[in-house]
């Protein structure tokens, strides 16, 4: 298979559950080797979208290709070349690490299976613990095992559904190291997350809320597209200031960070007017670049107004 | 127990929570309230340990007033329904072996001649006694007829025959289990009962467990096909089933001295059909049940009628027609006839055919439903 321009190229993807639209007319294009971050509040349709890409759910509408196969008609082929890591650990807790890997390798008809399992164990540095039951592993190790199992058939596309939820920072960093290494080797990764630091490590981002795709692009593009102005305030009694600022015209977000306060809004002029009364001696104001988190919260609140 | 620490508000909180959860799980709630009612009515009307209207064959080689009186006497007793009139002994044997009739009466050619002469001729009543309880009352009823049945026919010069010992001799042959040993009937039957119970339960839990533990989502995202999963889950338990069969057969032979007249290898081949039929039921249940508890409940929902309406615990022919119809659907009913047929009657394939195809049909339907119901997506 020659490398296509896009690993994922879908449009109009729609899914309803009992009359409720969970994924609404989403289009997405992902190039080979990209780490595509998929963000959005809980229940926004991220998992549903991933499941539709790998054939676990049938889209109600839409068309396109995943790995060069039709997402509606060739889900069996997509399954062979994609790896899907579920949100919840979904390997067999009553099988050992080795047995789990071997089972998955058999299901995918991996050639030279034993070597693949052995290699996988080595990369996991679990060769010595191969006979340990998967159910006795800690959260971080379960996540690593799951990743190794998803990779055993050398997929071209990796779909990861909140892979780092509940994993400690060190393990999270190691995990991302590995993802970047895999992407450098040509693997395409679609990953959902709630962590902003993780979002910033993606090559591209998409933001979805209430089933709608709200923003798409690189981190900078997404931040720029929000056209958000943010001011930082340093001073005393910031909680009181925050309470008074909330609800003023142009003020969309007021977030207290310990000794500083971030105030942001999309209408720079009205925001400036609203904060003017507090631009006094005891408060030091200066404009800062909006962060990804500010942008996402802004997007989410706008989405809530538009779609709820 | 320190009652000082028993707090009724906390206790009440737990009780409330249990009620809320019970109400949410509609199927469980239905199983607890509705199913016992259904079964009460079903079994209350269906079960009868004193079966009447048992199918009977009469071979009246002697067409005389006495023959007609005797046959009428059988009918009047309400224990016998005469459904066949065979003309040869071989045909009688076949009818008994194939389970077509429970009883066969043979009235010999010279019956009336000998009777009139006061020679006390024999009259043969043959019974399929594999299930001793099914024939006991009926045989007692015939024995009750013997002394007086011909009194109205024995008039005039024959009147003296009314007095003294009965004018004829009833010979009862209890085939297949002449000593009325209950174990001969129960132990082979237990094989079917145990297979039904364990095979359905084990497989019913198999897929439900995958779903409950979340491993189903993973399995569905791999290229594995439904047929591969379902058959892959059935095959290991076939082995378990054969271990059970072997143990029961050994126990039957060495502990209970159950006769094994027919071919044990044939039984071992045919039991496969029964095992797979039950596994298919389990698989189908597991595709319907939302969790393992529901799968267990469905297993019992199926197991109870199998136990009560199959002829294992109560005589099949004692049940009303509608209950027999339900029983005919259940694989256990047919398997009981097969296992008892082989071990006690020495039946071969030709006699077993009437019970093999219903099991095969049941299996085909169950597997189809199971595969149809097994969804390859999470939709």
Closest residue, chain B, to A110 (C-alpha)? B223
Domain match, A156 and A72 both: yes
8 Å CB contact between A6 and A29:
yes
Domain match, A195 and A274 both: no
The reply to whether A213 falls in a domain is: yes
**Mean of all residue pLDDT scores within chain B:** 89
Domain match, B153 and B197 both: no
Domain match, A181 and A247 both: no
Domain match, B84 and B139 both: yes
Is A79 in the B-facing interface, judged by CB distances under 8 Å?
yes
Residue A130: what pLDDT?
92
Closest residue, chain B, to A105 (C-alpha)? B222
Closest CA to A55 of B136, B158, B379: B379
The reply to whether A85 falls in a domain is: yes
Which pTM does this prediction carry?
0.81
Q: What is the CATH number of the domain that holds B162?
A: 3.40.1710.10
The reply to whether B333 falls in a domain is: yes
Domain match, A180 and A238 both: no
Is B227 in the A-facing interface, judged by CB distances under 8 Å?
no
A286 Cβ contact partners less than 8 Å away, ≥ 6 residues apart: A231, A232
Is A55 in the B-facing interface, judged by CB distances under 8 Å?
yes
Whole-angstrom distance, CA of residue A298 vs CA of residue A24: 20
Mutate one of B207, B222, B227, B233 to test the A interface: name it (highest A CB count within 10 A): B222
The minimum CA-CA distance between B205 and chain A, rounded to whole Å, is 15
The reply to whether B11 falls in a domain is: no
Q: Which of these three, B175, B202, B224, is where a domain ends?
A: B175
Domain match, A76 and A217 both: yes
Question: Would residue A255 be called left, alpha or beta, if left means φ above 0 and alpha means ψ between -120 and 50 degrees?
Answer: beta
Q: What would the pLDDT profile of B312-352 be if each residue is shown by its tens digit?
A: 988 898 888 899 999 999 999 999 999 999 999 999 999 89
8 Å CB contact between B188 and B252:
yes
Residue B357 structural domain: 182-373
SS3 sequence of chain B: CCHHHCCHHHHHHHHHHHHHHHHHCHHHHHHHHHHHHHHHHHHHHHCCCCCCCEEEEEEECCCCHHHHHHHHHHHHHCCEEEEECCCCHHHHHHHHHCCCCCEEEEECCCHHHHHHCCCCCEEEEEEECCCHHHHHHHHHHHHHHCCCCCCCCCCHHHHHHHCCCCCCEEEEEEECCCCCCHHHHHHHHHHHHHHHHHHHHHHHHHHHHHHHHCHHHHHHCCCCCHHHHHHHHHHHHHHHHHHHHHHHHHHHHHCCCCCCCCCHHHHHHHHHHHHHHHHHHHHHHHHHCCCHHHHHHHHHHHHHHHHHHCCCCCCHHHCCHHHHHHHHHCHHHHHHHHHHHHHHHCCCHHHHHHHHHHHHHHHHHHHHHHHHHCCCCCC
Q: What is the CATH number of the domain that holds A267?
A: 3.30.70.260
Domain match, A207 and A246 both: no
Q: In the structure, what pLDDT confidence band is assigned to residue B172 with cuts at 50, 70 and 90?
A: very high
So what's the ipTM on this one?
A: 0.81
Q: Which of these three, B135, B152, B175, is where a domain ends?
A: B175
Is B378 in the A-facing interface, judged by CB distances under 8 Å?
yes
Residue A308: what pLDDT?
57
Q: Residues of A with CB below 8 A from B220's CB? A: 56
Domain match, B313 and B204 both: yes
Domain match, B188 and B232 both: yes
The minimum CA-CA distance between B287 and chain A, rounded to whole Å, is 17
Residue A1: pLDDT above 60? no
Q: How far is CA B281 from the centre of its chain?
A: 18
Q: What would the pLDDT profile of B89-119 be if each residue is shown by its tens digit?
A: 999 999 999 889 999 999 999 998 998 888 8
Domain match, B222 and B353 both: yes
Whole-angstrom distance, CA of residue A211 vs CA of residue B330: 49
First to last CA, chain B: 50
Closest residue, chain A, to B228 (C-alpha)? A107
The minimum CA-CA distance between B213 and chain A, rounded to whole Å, is 7
The reply to whether B29 falls in a domain is: no
Whole-angstrom distance, CA of residue B276 vs CA of residue A74: 33
Whole-angstrom distance, CA of residue A143 vs CA of residue A172: 10
Q: What would the pLDDT profile of B200-244 be if each residue is shown by its tens digit?
A: 998 899 888 988 888 988 888 899 888 888 888 889 999 999 999
Q: Which of these three, A206, A223, A240, is where a domain ends?
A: A223
Residue A116: what pLDDT?
94
Q: What is the CATH number of the domain that holds A184?
A: 3.40.50.300
CB pairs under 8 A between A and B: 46
Domain match, B241 and B147 both: no
Percentage of residues of chain A with pLDDT beyond 90: 55
Residue A111: what pLDDT?
92
Q: How far is CA B21 from the centre of its chain?
A: 38
Q: What would the pLDDT profile of A217-249 be if each residue is shown by its tens digit?
A: 999 999 988 889 999 999 888 888 889 898 888
Domain match, B156 and B204 both: no
- The larger pLDDT score, comparing residue B375 to residue B33, is at B33
Domain match, B340 and B224 both: yes
**Tally of domains in chain A:** 2
Domain match, B128 and B189 both: no
Domain match, A208 and A256 both: no
Closest residue, chain A, to B224 (C-alpha)? A107
Domain match, A169 and A274 both: no
The reply to whether B199 falls in a domain is: yes
Comparing CB atoms, the residue among B214, B215, B222 nearest residue A108 is B222
Domain match, A31 and A51 both: yes
Is A176 in the B-facing interface, judged by CB distances under 8 Å?
no
Whole-angstrom distance, CA of residue B185 vs CA of residue A188: 66
Sheet order of strands, B80-84 included: B80-84, B54-60, B103-107, B122-128, B169-175
Q: Residues of B with CB below 8 A from A135's CB? A: none
Q: Which residue is it, tokens 């989405």?
A: A303
Measured from the Cβ of residue A274, the count of other Cβ atoms closer than 10 Å reads 18
Residue A236 structural domain: 229-289
Closest CA to B331 of B291, B375, B378, B278: B278
Domain match, B136 and B219 both: no
Q: Residues of A with CB below 8 A from B217's CB? A: 56, 86, 88, 90
**Tally of domains in chain B:** 2
Domain match, B194 and B267 both: yes
Q: Residues of A with CB below 8 A from B224's CB? A: 107
Is B110 in the A-facing interface, judged by CB distances under 8 Å?
no
The minimum CA-CA distance between B103 and chain A, rounded to whole Å, is 56
Domain match, A84 and A122 both: yes
Domain match, B227 and B305 both: yes
Closest residue, chain B, to A103 (C-alpha)? B219
The reply to whether A303 falls in a domain is: no
Comparing CB atoms, the residue among B217, B224, B377 nearest residue A90 is B217
The reply to whether A60 falls in a domain is: yes
Q: Could B215 and A91 be called an inter-chain contact, meaning their C-beta atoms sit closer than 8 Å?
A: yes
Q: What would the pLDDT profile of A128-182 be if each residue is shown by its tens digit?
A: 999 999 999 988 899 999 999 999 999 999 999 999 888 888 889 999 999 999 9
Q: Which of these three, B175, B192, B215, is where a domain ends?
A: B175
Mean pLDDT of A5-26: 91
Residue A85: what pLDDT?
94
């Amino acid at each position: 298979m020659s490398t296509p321009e896009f690993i994922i190229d879908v449009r109009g993807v729609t899914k309803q559950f009992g009359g409720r639209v969970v994924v609404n007319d989403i289009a997405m294009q992902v190039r080979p080797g990209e780490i595509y971050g998929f963000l959005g509040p809980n229940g926004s349709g991220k998992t549903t979208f991933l499941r539709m890409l790998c054939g676990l759910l049938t889209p109600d509408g839409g068309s396109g290709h995943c790995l060069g196969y039709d997402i509606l008609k060739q889900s069996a082929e997509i399954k062979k070349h994609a790896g899907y890591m579920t949100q919840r650990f979904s390997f067999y807790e009553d099988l050992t690490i080795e047995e789990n890997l071997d089972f998955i390798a058999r299901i995918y008809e991996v050639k030279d299976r034993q070597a693949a399992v052995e290699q996988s164990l080595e990369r996991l540095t679990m060769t010595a613990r191969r006979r340990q039951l998967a159910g006795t592993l800690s959260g971080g190790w379960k996540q690593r095992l799951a990743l190794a199992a998803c990779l055993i058939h050398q997929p071209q596309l990796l779909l990861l559904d909140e892979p780092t939820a509940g994993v400690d920072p060190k393990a999270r960093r190691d995990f991302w190291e590995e993802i970047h290494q895999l992407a450098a080797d040509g693997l395409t990764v679609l990953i959902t997350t709630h962590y902003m630091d993780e979002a910033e490590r993606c090559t591209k981002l998409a933001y979805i809320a209430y089933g709608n795709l709200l923003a798409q692009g690189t981190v900078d593009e997404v931040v720029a597209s929000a056209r958000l102005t943010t001011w930082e305030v340093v001073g005393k009694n910031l909680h009181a200031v925050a309470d008074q600022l909330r609800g003023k015209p142009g003020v969309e977000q007021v977030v207290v960070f310990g000794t500083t306060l971030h105030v942001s809004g999309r209408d720079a002029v009205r925001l400036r007017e609203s904060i003017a009364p507090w631009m006094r001696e005891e408060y030091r104001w200066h404009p800062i670049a909006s962060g990804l988190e500010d942008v996402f919260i802004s997007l989410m609140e706008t989405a809530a107004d538009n779609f709820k | 127990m320190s009652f000082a620490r028993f707090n009724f508000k906390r206790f009440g909180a737990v009780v409330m929570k249990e009620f809320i959860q019970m109400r949410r799980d509609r199927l469980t709630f239905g199983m607890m309230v509705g199913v016992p009612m259904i079964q009460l009515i079903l079994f209350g009307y269906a079960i009868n340990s004193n079966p009447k209207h048992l199918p009977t064959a009469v071979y009246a080689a002697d067409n005389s007033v006495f023959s007609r009186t005797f046959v009428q006497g059988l009918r009047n007793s309400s224990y016998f329904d005469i459904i066949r009139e065979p003309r040869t002994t071989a045909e009688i044997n076949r009818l008994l072996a194939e389970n077509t009739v429970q009883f066969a009466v043979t009235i010999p050619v010279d019956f009336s001649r000998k009777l009139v002469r006061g020679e006390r001729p024999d009259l043969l009543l043959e019974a399929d006694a594999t299930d001793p309880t099914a024939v006991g009352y009926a045989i007692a009823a015939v024995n009750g007829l013997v002394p007086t049945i011909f009194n109205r026919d024995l008039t005039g010069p024959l009147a003296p025959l009314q007095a003294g010992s009965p004018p004829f001799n009833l010979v009862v042959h209890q085939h297949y289990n002449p000593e009325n040993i209950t174990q001969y009937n129960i132990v082979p039957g237990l094989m079917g009962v145990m297979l039904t119970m364990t095979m359905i339960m084990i497989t019913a839990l198999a897929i439900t467990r995958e779903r409950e533990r979340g491993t189903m989502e993973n399995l569905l995202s791999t290229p594995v096909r439904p047929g591969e999963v379902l058959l892959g889950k059935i095959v290991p338990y076939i082995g378990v089933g054969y271990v059970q069969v072997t143990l029961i057969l050994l126990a039957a032979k060495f502990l209970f001295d159950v006769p094994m007249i027919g071919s044990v290898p044939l039984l071992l081949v045919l039991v496969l059909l029964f095992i797979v039929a039950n596994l298919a039921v389990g698989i189908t249940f597991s595709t319907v049940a939302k969790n393992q508890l529901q799968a267990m409940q469905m297993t019992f929902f199926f197991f109870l009628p199998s136990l009560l309406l199959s002829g294992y615990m109560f005589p099949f022919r004692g049940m009303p027609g509608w209950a027999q119809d339900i029983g005919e659907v259940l694989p256990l009913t047919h398997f009981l006839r097969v296992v008892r047929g082989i071990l006690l009657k020495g039946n071969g394939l030709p006699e077993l055919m009437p019970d093999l195809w219903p099991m095969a049909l049941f299996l085909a339907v169950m597997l189809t439903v199971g595969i149809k119901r097994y969804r390859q997506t999470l939709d």
